[in-house]
Structure 1
Amino acid sequence: MSVLRAEIMDTAVVPPADRWPFFLDMSFRASAPMAMSSDHVSDFRATSRLVDLGGLQLVRFRYQSLTGQRTPRLIRQADPELYQVALTVSGASAISAQRRDTTMSRSDFTLVDWGRPHRLEHRSLHGGQELAASLTVGIPRTLLPLHPDRVDRLAAARMSGTEGPGALLAMHLHHITRYPEQFQATDAPRLADVTLSLVATLFAHHLDAEHDLPPDIRQLATLAQVHAFIDRHLSDPALTPQAVAEAHHISLRTLHRLFEPDQETVAASIRRRRLARCRRDLADPLLRHHPVHRIGRRWGFTDPAHFSRAFRAAYGMSPQAYRALPSAPRPPDGPPEPPGR
């Protein structure tokens, strides 16, 4: 079964004189043409990773300072009817649109409407040592379950990516673009649904319109919040389905209903993630001096015998045997996560 793949672009693969047009071609395909300029066009350094989820495109950019102008003439030539949610990852960014001028620093989101004039600026910092970087998700306007007039209020607005729905969306986008190989290609539609739900929830939060979201959007967003909570508390032995439900102010029955599409119980999800962390630590040479039972306790297994049985059931060998494998590769943070996790 094929895994989800990223399309990689690096201007270093072409001669210096061709790097700027090479970057422009890639960036225009990810959104729409702009009148762009840079002080580094003679030898432009940039990389990108594009993950196509079908209806949505996620792109991770890293580049030298540049500016771009989306003009009325360019819009008349081609309106992609596209919103782009952009997260500043490093450097500094600024946008001017809808009579609003906004600056963004690291971990700030903004909304770009490619069907309206705007100006973008991305600056590297520290004399170019810290390149500008951003993470974007392109969304067709028709897919957002909010009225366009309301969404327009957020154009060029600054939205935090470190708290509330913004933090959850940022974590989700970072994980997919960093580790697309942890997902199957068939996961793309589900990942697109979760991404759209998190974007819609972020917008609704800033518009005070959470109750206007369709039930399925709210359910997917809640599920994503639950998965993030579980990941943050795996080391706590008291992490149980009941504790998860109480933390999210929902009933245990509602929590179990959220997990039904994944065909995995809440308890099984917690156990699988804990075991994946244990397996990762057992393969880490830097943790060789830690006893096996301590690694189990580190991830919530207080009973060494139970930990050993659970590990054997999951991976076909005891924790000690796994650690003793001479060429066991260090696994990623966990097995491929079902969409939404």
Structure 2
Amino acid sequence: MLMEKVFRSDDVPSASRFDAWRKRLVRDVSPLGSRSDRGGGFRAETRLLRLGGSRVWSTAVDPATIRRTPELARQSGPGLYTLILPISGRIEVAQAGREAVHGPFDMHVLDSCRPFQLRLLGDGASVHLMGADVAKAGFPLPAPWMDQLLTQRLPGREGAGALLSGFLLQVTHDTGSYRSSDGPRLGAALLELLTALFAHHLDMDDSRASDRARRALMLRIQAFICQHLRDPQLTPPTIAAAHHISVSYLHRIFQGEDITVSSWIREQRLAHARRDLADPTLRSTPIHEIASRWGFPRATDFTRAFRASYDMPPSNYRRHVRPIAE
């Protein structure tokens, strides 16, 4: 089954329910301030599901106010985009100098790195919400584009919004149908749906938005690889995990470049090793040390890969090549 966390206020003594819910928000979500007029009669039920590097959640909660102050925003750690889908009740939201009121199936998105306020209004009844949290660092659309969407109404009954609403409803209400191994794949599907929804409301051509988003993500992944070339544990699974995407989605991104992830890593490592072999200041450094430095712990593997790429073994290259100009 998917990794799931559940909180029920009925499991807590009446006088402690709101405080227990508030502490659970801070522990499982992020630093938040909250208050409610319900006092000891406060009721809430929350379910949180992990989908790879993302998460989805569902909650039925009594009316309350949730705030992230500037100080709490600075404590929030890695930034998240949070999509909120009201099922019943209303939400008054304020962030980035904007205010809006959203009713059932009026979705909106928040940035965890910025202060915000949410007022959950149930007109005497509980407010039912669903939502998703995705890492900003691994999200395909650039931050300036996302800034335009903060607090904006995103209809959840039509188009890409309806697809996303259906996805959230299905996943959170039928967790028993999924295995834990489905989590990363469902997380990749969530990213695709969110990207489609946001691109539509940015008034962008879907194919152009998709291409630009994939290219932006590709550039971030390539930069990450170049920063970690010396790490022998640099593999597709570790790269995918660092960017909160599935391994299969990582491979699909590289298919557009007509190269595999592993081949691109190997090319970069060989290029850096080749540069070191041509560096006069490193003449006394053994070839196997240079190979190991760039992620080839076995000298024979390095020699074979180098010969395949440059038509000569590294020892011959070092003897005959001129220094590579910077």
Shorter-chain TM range is 0.5 to 0.7
The 1:157–1:30 alpha-carbon spacing in structure 2 relative to 1, beyond 3 Å, is farther
For 1:152 and 1:31, the matched residues in 2 are separated by 21
For 1:80 and 1:122, the matched residues in 2 are separated by 25
Structure 2 equivalent of residue 164 of structure 1: 159
For 1:33 and 1:41, the matched residues in 2 are separated by 21
> After superposition, what is the alpha-carbon deviation per residue over 1:108-142, rounded to whole angstroms, capped at 9, x for unaligned?
110011100111111112x32xx101101011101
The answer on whether the counterparts of 2:140 and 2:213 sit within 8 Å (CA) in structure 1 is: no
For 2:75 and 2:191, the matched residues in 1 are separated by 28
Structure 2, unaligned runs of 5 or more: 215-251, 253-326
Letter in 2 for 1:123: L
Structure 2 equivalent of residue 51 of structure 1: 49
The answer on whether the counterparts of 1:5 and 1:181 sit within 8 Å (CA) in structure 2 is: no
Structure 1 equivalent of residue 171 of structure 2: 176
Find runs of 4+ consecutive structure 1 residues off by over 4 angstroms. none
> Is 1:212 matched up with 2:202?
no
Structure 1, unaligned runs of 5 or more: 218-260, 262-341
State the 1:44 CA deviation. 1.3
The answer on whether the counterparts of 1:30 and 1:59 sit within 8 Å (CA) in structure 2 is: no
Structure 1 equivalent of residue 86 of structure 2: 88
Structure 2 equivalent of residue 113 of structure 1: 111
The answer on whether the counterparts of 1:145 and 1:214 sit within 8 Å (CA) in structure 2 is: no
For 1:216 and 1:207, the matched residues in 2 are separated by 13
Structure 2 equivalent of residue 200 of structure 1: 195
Structure 1 equivalent of residue 60 of structure 2: 62
Aligned residues: 214
The answer on whether the counterparts of 2:85 and 2:107 sit within 8 Å (CA) in structure 1 is: yes
Larger radius of gyration: 2
Structure 2 equivalent of residue 71 of structure 1: 69
Structure 1 equivalent of residue 312 of structure 2: none
In the TM superposition, 1:23-62 aligns within 5 A as: 23-62=21-60
RMSD of aligned Cα (Å): 1.9
For 1:33 and 1:123, the matched residues in 2 are separated by 22
In the TM superposition, 1:1-341 aligns within 5 A as: 3-125=1-123, 127-128=124-125, 131-209=126-204, 210=206, 211-214=208-211
Letter in 2 for 1:147: P
State the percentage of identical aligned residues.
30
For 1:176 and 1:44, the matched residues in 2 are separated by 27
Task: Give SS of 2:151's match.
Answer: coil
For 2:139 and 2:211, the matched residues in 1 are separated by 11
The answer on whether the counterparts of 2:31 and 2:75 sit within 8 Å (CA) in structure 1 is: no
For 1:76 and 1:216, the matched residues in 2 are separated by 27
State the 1:76 CA deviation. 2.4
The answer on whether the counterparts of 1:64 and 1:124 sit within 8 Å (CA) in structure 2 is: yes
For 1:182 and 1:191, the matched residues in 2 are separated by 12
The answer on whether the counterparts of 1:96 and 1:120 sit within 8 Å (CA) in structure 2 is: yes
